[in-house]
Amino acid sequence: MRQDKDYNVEGGLGLTVRRIIAYVVLIILTVLCLFWFYILFVNASRAHSDLARGFTLIPGSFLLKNWQAVMGGTQPIVKGMVNSFIIAACASVLSVYFSTMTAYAIHVYDFKAKKAIFTFILAVMMIPTQVTALGFIKLVQGMKLEDSFIPLIIPAIAAPATFYYMKQYMESALPHAIVEAARIDGANEVRTFNTISLPMMKPAVAVQMIFTFVFNWNNYFTPALILHDDKKKTLPILIAQLRSADFLKFDMGQVYVTIAFSIFQVIVVYLCLSRFIVGGVALGSVKG
C-alpha cells in the first residue's frame, strides 16, 4: 500500500514536471513568434533616418506620420487592400470547397481510376508555378483576361495540397458508415456532402481556409504578371513598388507601416476562423 502511494506521488510529480516543461517551451515559442511582429510595428513607428541608424526595441513617434504619408502618396494602398481581399477570399472559399469535394469523391466512391487520379493529383502538386507561368500568361492574353481577377481566382480552385490534406483528414474524421446512413435515410449526394460531411470537416476546412487565404494574400508572382493597372494591383505589388522607389522618394518607414497594415487583415481572418479549429478539436475530444 505504501509502495502504491509512493508510486502515485512520483507519477504525479513527473506529470507536473512535464507539464511545466511543456508550458515553458510553449511560452518561449510564443515569444519568439510574436517578437518579429513587435519589431515590425516598432519599425513602422520610426522615421527613415532613424531606421538607417540601426536596430532598437523602443517604438518611435512617427507611426501616424508614416501612415499619413502612405495614404497621401501616389500608391492606392486601400484599393490594393480591397483587391487583395477579394482575390484571397474568393480563391480560398472556392479552393477549399472544391478540394474538399474532390477529396470526398476519392474517399467515398470506388471506381477503377481512383488510384490513378489520386496519384496524378499528387504529381501535379510537385510542379512549380514558375514552370507553367509562360503558358499561363499566353493563355490569359489569348482570352483577353489581363487586368482581371478571374485568372487569379478560377485556377486557384485546383489546389492539390489542399486536396491531399482534406483527403488525409477524412480518413480519420469521416467514416463511411455515416455516409451510408445518410443515403439510407434518403439524402442525395449533394445534400450528404453539404449538410453532413462538410460540417464534420470544420477544423480542417478552417485550417485550409487560413493557409489558402494567407497564400493568395501574399502572392506576388502571378498577380505581377497579370495586373498592370494600378487600380487593379494587389497589396504585395504596391509594397514592392514602394521598396523599388528611387533614392529620393524611398522611405523605409512607409514600407514597414504598409507591411504592418497588410498583416492586420490576415490576423483578423485567423481570429475569425480559429474558433472553428478549437471548437472542432474540443468536439472531437468529447466524442473520443
Q: Does residue 35 sit in the same domain as residue 84? A: no
CA distances, 116 to each of 46, 105, 128 (Å): 56, 14, 21
Q: How confident is the model at residue 204 (pLDDT cuts 50, 70, 90)?
A: confident
HSE, CB side, 13 Å, CA atoms: give it for residue 287.
9
Q: Does residue 54 lie in a domain region? A: no
Residues 227 and 279 in one domain: yes
Per-residue CA distances from 55 to 51, 144, 222, 230 (Å): 7, 47, 33, 33
Whether residues 29 and 136 share a domain: the answer is: no
**Same structural domain for residues 143 and 268?**
yes
Best CA proximity match to 207, nearest among 99, 85, 123: 99
Residues 147 and 15 in one domain: no
Decide which of 247 and 255 is more confident: 255
Percent of the chain predicted with pLDDT > 70: 89
Residues 128 and 245 reside in one and the same domain:
yes
CA distance 197 to 77: 40
If one compares 27 and 203, the residue with the highest pLDDT of the two is: 27
Residue 248: inside a domain, yes or no?
Answer: yes
pLDDT averaged over every residue in the chain: 83
Q: Which residue has the higher pLDDT, 176 or 28?
A: 28
Domain range for 234:
65-287
Task: Answer whether residue 40 shows pLDDT above 60.
Answer: yes
Instruction: Write down the pLDDT at residue 266.
Output: 84
Q: What are the CA-CA distances from residue 163 to residues 96, 203, 275 (Å)?
A: 8, 15, 22
Q: pTM for the full model?
A: 0.81
Q: Are residues 28 and 130 in the same domain?
A: no
Asked whether residue 238 carries a pLDDT value surpassing 70, the answer given is yes
Shared-domain flag, residues 148 and 263: yes
Name the residue with cell 483528414: 169
CA distance 107 to 100: 10
In a domain, 59, yes or no: no
Q: Which of 43-47, 69-73, 137-141, 282-286 has the lowest mean pLDDT?
A: 282-286
| Average of per-residue pLDDT across 263-274 | 82
Q: Is residue 111 part of a domain?
A: yes
Residues 36 and 173 both lie in one domain: no
- Mean pLDDT, range 22-38, rounded to an integer: 90
CA 129-212-138 angle, to 5 degrees, is 30
Does residue 97 belong to any structural domain of this protein? yes
One domain, residues 100 and 17: no
Assess whether 240 and 157 both reside in one domain.
yes
In a domain, 150, yes or no: yes
Q: What is the pLDDT of residue 282?
A: 42
Rounded to an integer, what distance in angstroms lies between the CA atom of residue 282 and that of residue 288?
Answer: 10
- Verify that 144 and 283 share a domain, yes or no: yes
Q: Is residue 56 part of a domain?
A: no
pLDDT of 3 > 70? The answer is no
What's the distance, Cα to Cα, between the start and end of the chain in Å? 33
Residue 8: band (very low, low, confident or very high) from pLDDT cuts 50, 70, 90 = low
pLDDT tens by residue, 96-135: 999 999 999 888 888 888 888 888 988 888 888 788 888 8
Structural domain contains residue 53: no
We report the CATH number of the domain holding residue 107 as: 1.10.3720.10
Domain count, the chain: 2
